[in-house]
């Protein structure tokens, strides 16, 4: 919405939320205090806020005034009842639709921005048409493909914008009005229009394919470790095949983030609900492989440290699910820490952007043990050298650039010996690390 406001000064954009604290943070005089850390975003908010970009808790008023409403609420995996652990929870979508229906007194275009199961638009339309005040609603699907950490550049130069709508003349008219908004900065050739179901399913498909690439290279990483092949060399060799391409082939401790796992589970659930068990099993394997990768990374730390980490200090560099974000949702670090805490390790975490409260919250959310034990077992510090001091081992969980530039000799000198580094992101140079004295292991190379 900030980018739309920046690129379309003639359009008034109002972002509403029930959460008073969040909206207050978006309105904070110092734009560096906005609640999301995303390179470039605060400057854009600074430029547009108060001009044609507004943040407010007056939801009803904003609905009443708007001609077009983007629904951008969470669709987490269901944690209860039918579809528990797999299906998307559409509670918030439904609440939005009901609120829009009850307030709207003029025709509106409702845009699904949240990632949704295919055919959700049908449910949204049903609610709007049956509980509304007789006004006309057009539903569009406009999934978002931005990645965190690069959100601003992704939005300014998207590979494509996807808009799905009804194939009726009214549907086409609604599609055209959204195309016109994006056409303020995106070349028309890159704005794809489809029917609603293709658009909804394309989003799930894109995320499934991306996650599948990571799981595929991670599956190879384990084979590389056994055979003496080097996964980075294999990735380079296959990536130069133009049919495969070089992106998304970085082997790692496992993918995280708010989308990949949730969307694949959702896809699996949808496939199963149509009785397509082979399709469901095929995609579920991407998740199974990812869980395996996280577990075997943690397991390797334990076995390498002479089969026990009990009472040992393990330093985590990184907690976010990838660099340049403070988002920790489904981060591999959470699961690796959980595993090591079960082994009675003392975990100390440093992440340049993630705060202690979030880290403890992430562990408590798993409900593996009491909050008190999580707090006792996981110390969070704001200095990387302190995190590593007297540690038996360091695990790199996020690929923050600054980790490469640390004084690794100093870190080595202050650690317990032998000093181990487990590079879960393959960002450090093995030869250099060994020259400092470390016993160094990365993902996908033989040790």
Helices 196-227 and 260-273: angle between axes, nearest 10 degrees: 120
In the bound state, the residue with its beta carbon closest to ligand UDX is 257
Rounded-to-integer distance, Cα 337 and Cα 349, Å: 10
- Secondary structure letter of residue 77 according to DSSP: B
Q: What residues line the site for ligand UDX (CB under 6 A)?
A: 144-148, 207, 210, 214, 248-250, 252, 255-257, 259-260, 321-322
Query: 63 with 104: CB under 8 angstroms?
Result: yes
Phi, psi of 315 (to 5 degrees): -95, 130
Query: 414 with 389: CB under 8 angstroms?
Result: yes
Tell me the C-alpha to C-alpha distance, in Å, between residue 29 and each of 42, 220, 377. 11, 49, 38
Q: Return the closest-CA partner of residue 69 out of 98, 115, 100, 91.
A: 100
Q: Are strands 378-380 and 161-165 parallel, antiparallel or unpaired?
A: unpaired
Look up 259 and say whether it is catalytic: yes
- Burial class for 291, CB neighbours closer than 10 Å (0-12, 13-18, 19+): middle
- Which 3 state secondary structure label does DSSP give 408? helix
- Which 3 state secondary structure label does DSSP give 99? helix
CB of 233 to ligand UDX, least distance (A): 15
CB of 324 to ligand UDX, least distance (A): 10
CB of 335 to ligand UDX, least distance (A): 12
Nearer to ligand UDX, 255 or 408 (CB): 255
Return the bridge partners of 423, or none.
396, 442
Q: Cis check for the bond before 346: say yes or no (omega within 30 of 0).
A: no
Q: Which residue has the tokens 């202690």?
A: 356
The arrangement of strands across the sheet holding 68-71 comes to: 68-71, 108-112, 137-141, 161-165, 191-195
CB of 259 to ligand UDX, least distance (A): 3
CB of 238 to ligand UDX, least distance (A): 13
CB of 40 to ligand UDX, least distance (A): 15
CB of 98 to ligand UDX, least distance (A): 27
Tell me the C-alpha to C-alpha distance, in Å, between residue 363 and each of 346, 378, 387, 421. 14, 9, 19, 23
Rounded-to-integer distance, Cα 280 and Cα 276, Å: 6
> Which alpha helices (DSSP H) does 132-195 contain, by range?
151-156, 169-182
Q: Would you name the residues annotated as active-site residues?
A: 259
């Amino acid at each position: 919405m900030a980018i739309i406001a920046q690129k379309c000064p003639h359009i008034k954009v109002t972002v509403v939320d029930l959460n008073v604290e969040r909206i207050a943070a978006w309105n904070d005089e110092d734009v560096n205090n906005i609640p999301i850390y995303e390179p470039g975003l605060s400057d854009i908010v600074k430029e547009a806020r108060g001009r044609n970009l507004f943040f407010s808790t007056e939801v009803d008023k904003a609905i009443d005034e708007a001609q077009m409403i983007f629904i951008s609420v969470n669709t987490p995996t269901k944690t209860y009842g039918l579809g528990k652990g797999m299906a998307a929870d559409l509670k918030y979508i439904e609440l939005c639709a009901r609120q829009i229906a009850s307030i709207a007194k003029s025709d509106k275009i409702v845009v699904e921005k949240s990632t949704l199961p295919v055919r959700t638009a049908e449910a949204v339309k049903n609610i709007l048409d049956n509980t509304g005040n007789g006004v006309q609603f057009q539903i569009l699907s406009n999934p978002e493909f931005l990645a965190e950490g690069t959100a601003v550049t992704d939005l300014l130069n998207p590979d494509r914008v996807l808009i799905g709508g009804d194939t009726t003349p009214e549907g086409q008219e609604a599609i055209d009005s959204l195309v016109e908004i994006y056409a303020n900065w995106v070349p028309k050739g890159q704005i794809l229009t489809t029917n609603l179901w293709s658009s909804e399913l394309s989003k799930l498909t894109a995320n499934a394919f991306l996650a599948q690439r990571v799981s595929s290279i991670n599956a190879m990483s384990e084979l590389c470790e056994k055979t003496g092949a080097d996964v980075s060399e294999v990735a380079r060799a296959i990536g130069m095949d133009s049919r495969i391409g070089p992106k998304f082939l970085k082997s790692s401790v496992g993918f995280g983030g708010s989308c990949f796992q949730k969307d694949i589970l959702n896809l699996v659930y949808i496939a199963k609900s149509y009785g397509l068990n082979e399709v469901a099993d095929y995609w579920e394997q991407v998740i199974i492989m990812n869980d395996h990768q996280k577990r075997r990374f943690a397991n390797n730390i334990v076995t390498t440290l002479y089969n026990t980490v009990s009472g040992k200090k393990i330093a985590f560099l990184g907690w976010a699910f990838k660099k340049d974000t403070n988002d920790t949702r489904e981060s591999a670090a959470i699961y690796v820490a959980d595993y090591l805490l079960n082994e009675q390790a003392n975990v100390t975490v440093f992440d340049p952007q993630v705060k202690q409260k979030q880290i403890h919250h992430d562990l408590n959310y798993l409900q593996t043990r009491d909050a008190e034990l999580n707090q006792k077992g996981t110390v969070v510090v704001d200095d990387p050298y302190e995190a590593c001091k007297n540690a038996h081992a360091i695990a790199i969980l996020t690929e923050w650039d600054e980790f490469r530039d640390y004084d690794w000799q100093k870190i080595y000198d202050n650690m317990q010996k032998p000093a181990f580094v487990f590079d879960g992101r393959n960002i450090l140079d093995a030869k250099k690390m060994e020259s400092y004295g470390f016993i160094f292991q990365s993902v996908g190379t033989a040790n």
